[in-house]
Amino acid sequence: MWNEAGQLDASLLPWLAKCRDVEFFNASDGRNKLPAWAWHSLERATWPNLRVAKFRECFDKYSKEVDGAPAVLQLLARSRHLEVIDLEECGHIAAEAWEVLREAQWMELKEADWWDCFSTGKPACEKAGVVMQLMSRCESLEKISLRSCNGISDEDFKLLGAASWPELREANFDDCFEALTRQTVLQALSRCRKLESLDFTCRPTAEDLLELPSGCWPNLKLEKCRGFQCETWDEDGLVTVNEEETLALRRQLQRLREADLKEAADSSGLSIHIEEPTADVPDVAAPGTDEESPQVPGGALPDLNSDDFDGSEEQLDLTLQESEQNQANRLSIQPEEPFGQVENARAKKAKASKFRGKAKRANIKVKAKTKARKAAVDEMSARESISTEVVEAAHATEDEEEPLAQDATPKLGKT
């Protein structure tokens, strides 16, 4: 595809336009100044499998045949499986040509490089909003560069406020905007929890970062962060660093890296240990029965047996409360490695809550069985009472029949 001078052979583009299996196309080189007719041959090209497209410096200020650029943008707009797009320094494409990207669907796009494509004074700046809106729809984006795109208006940059980039790992906004837009872009980036590298050389302040939620960038690497220092230049071009403001920025970055308490404990090696019963709570024998006294493991129901348990709910509640207190006292945080003075209070509370739930279930279980046994005892007592009444009634009947028999005997003798 390249001639003896190391340039892309323009005569091959009409042939490539007829191929439907093109997946990778790289024309990125300052020496590749193809004539307009070569680019126009791509107007009817259909590359449904195109995944990587690089046109860096193909349409910069030194390009004389930028009239062929609209054909390239039309081809890209038809490519729905793009994963990598590079249009660095292609800002001299006519403004109206960018309109074809308004309907583009790059749902699989992972990397986008627009470096210096929308810098001040370039024709592409007029339609930068089309590209910003397109980028906000690319949910698979992992890397984006808008470096030196200082010609994008605040209104166009605000279109990124609705962006959803859950997979974004690297972002470059060096020399892009001022205070009016910083907060909008930062709010969009605060939803990118996988962010690792951030170039934000746009004079951010500690107040800008203070608006972001803590722990929003748990994977951020400080060595890959640029622009988070307060610098001023004097008339001679000498740089002065405001150490106090820079320290405030660094502290805010550290806050944004901190995960919640549970994640901090997990990453630090802290482990939660709690002693729990080794078996289920056994049945409580009803008073007055010959069942064996329960042996409760783990101290779940200490000192509870059939001799001193009268079956009352008051005694059961007091016993369970004492057990819960004893079990809660055994909660401990055992650090495997030193981690300062961090206390995993949330984990302790969760474990204690879990035990309280078990104690409540045990309480309900014991109460239910106690009530059932009481009902059985009451039923047995009722049956015994009924039997006693029947026996007494039978005795009373016999006592009444004996006098009648004695009165009847003399009468029969007289007859």
Show the DSSP H helices in 236-279 as ranges: 243-257, 261-268
From 266, 294, 327, the end of a domain falls on 266
| DSSP symbol at 191 | T
pLDDT at 340: 41
User: What radius of gyration do the chain's Cα atoms show?
Assistant: 42
Q: Rounded CA gap, 328 and 345, in Å?
A: 13
Question: Residue 314: pLDDT above 70?
Answer: no
Res 151: pLDDT: 93
Residues 193 and 286 in one domain: no
pLDDT (average), residues 372-379: 76
Tens digits of residue pLDDT in 114-137? 999 999 999 999 999 999 999 999
Q: Is residue 3 part of a domain?
A: no
In a domain, 2, yes or no: no
Asked whether the predicted pLDDT for residue 312 surpasses 90, the reply is: no
pLDDT-based confidence at residue 299 (cuts at 50, 70, 90): very low
Domain extent at residue 349: 272-401
231 and 322 belong to one structural domain: no
The whole-number pLDDT of residue 320 equals: 55
Q: What is the phi/psi pair of residue 334, to 5°?
A: -110, 105
The mean per-residue pLDDT over the stretch 330-336 comes to: 46
Report in angstroms the alpha-carbon separations of 175 from 104, 131, 185, 226, 256: 27, 18, 13, 11, 22
Q: Are residues 234 and 285 in the same domain?
A: no
pLDDT: is 2 or 215 the higher one? 215
CA 340 from centre of chain: 27
Report the distance separating Cα 376 and Cα 370, nearest Å: 10
- Residue 63, pLDDT score: 77
Structural domains counted in the chain: 2
Q: Domain end: 245, 266, 287, which one?
A: 266
The verdict on residue 76 lying in a domain is yes
Examine the domain organization and report whether 216 and 112 are in the same domain.
Answer: yes
* One domain, residues 38 and 54: yes
Do 342 and 212 share a structural domain? no
| Residue 57 resides in a domain | yes
Is the predicted pLDDT of residue 266 greater than 60, yes or no?
no
Task: Spell out the alpha helix ranges (H) of 79-217.
Answer: 128-136, 154-157, 179-189, 206-210
**How confident is the prediction for the chain on average, in pLDDT?**
77
pLDDT tens-digit map of 47-102? 999 999 999 998 888 777 788 999 999 999 999 999 999 999 999 999 999 999 99
Angle in degrees, CA 198, 199, 204, rounded to 5: 100
* CA separation for the pair 90, 28 (Å, rounded): 11
| Helices of type H across 120-242 | 128-136, 154-157, 179-189, 206-210
Rounded to whole angstroms, how far apart are CA atoms 350 and 358?
12
d(CA 288, CA 291): 9
Q: Greater confidence, 96 or 9?
A: 96
Q: What is the pLDDT of residue 341?
A: 42
The whole-number pLDDT of residue 33 equals 73
CATH number at residue 233: 3.80.10.10
24 vs 410, higher pLDDT? 24
Answer whether residue 204 is part of any domain.
yes
Answer whether residue 313 shows pLDDT above 60: no
Are 337 and 269 a contacting pair, CB within 8 Å?
yes
- pLDDT value at position 84? 98
Highest average pLDDT, of 53-57, 201-205, 257-261, comes from 53-57
pLDDT category, 235, cuts 50, 70, 90?
confident
- Count Cβ neighbours within 10 Å for each residue of 183-202 and write b for 16 or more, e otherwise: bbbbbbbbebeebebbbbbb
| Angle in degrees, 0-180, between the axes of helices 313-329 and 345-414, rounded to the nearest 10 | 160
- Whether residue 59 is contained in a domain is answered as yes
Whose tokens are 């972002």? That residue is 171
Mean pLDDT is lowest, of 85-99, 168-182, 235-249, for 235-249
pLDDT at 337 over 90: no
**In which band, very low, low, confident or very high, does the pLDDT at 380 lie, cut at 50, 70 and 90?**
confident
- Give the model's confidence band at 39: pLDDT under 50 very low, under 70 low, under 90 confident, else very high: very high
What integer pLDDT is reported at residue 409 of this predicted model?
A: 47
Q: Are residues 237 and 161 in the same domain?
A: yes
Indicate whether 198 and 282 sit together in one domain: no
Q: Give the separation between CA 65 and CA 72, rounded to whole angstroms.
A: 13
Say whether pLDDT at 343 is over 60.
no
pLDDT band at 332 (very low <50, low <70, confident <90, very high): very low
- One domain, residues 248 and 281: no
Q: In this prediction, what percent of the chain has a pLDDT beyond 90?
A: 44
E strand or H helix at 25: strand 24-26
Q: Are residues 250 and 280 in the same domain?
A: no
In terms of domains, do 294 and 397 share one?
yes
Identify whether 100 is part of a domain. Answer: yes
SS3 state at 274: coil
Residue 73 within any structural domain of the chain: yes
Q: What's the pTM value of the predicted model, to 2 decimals?
A: 0.62
pLDDT band with cut points at 50, 70 and 90 for residue 32: low
237, 266, 295: which is the final residue of a domain?
A: 266
Residue 140 and residue 56 share a domain: yes
Which of 118-132, 198-212, 296-310 is the least confident region? 296-310
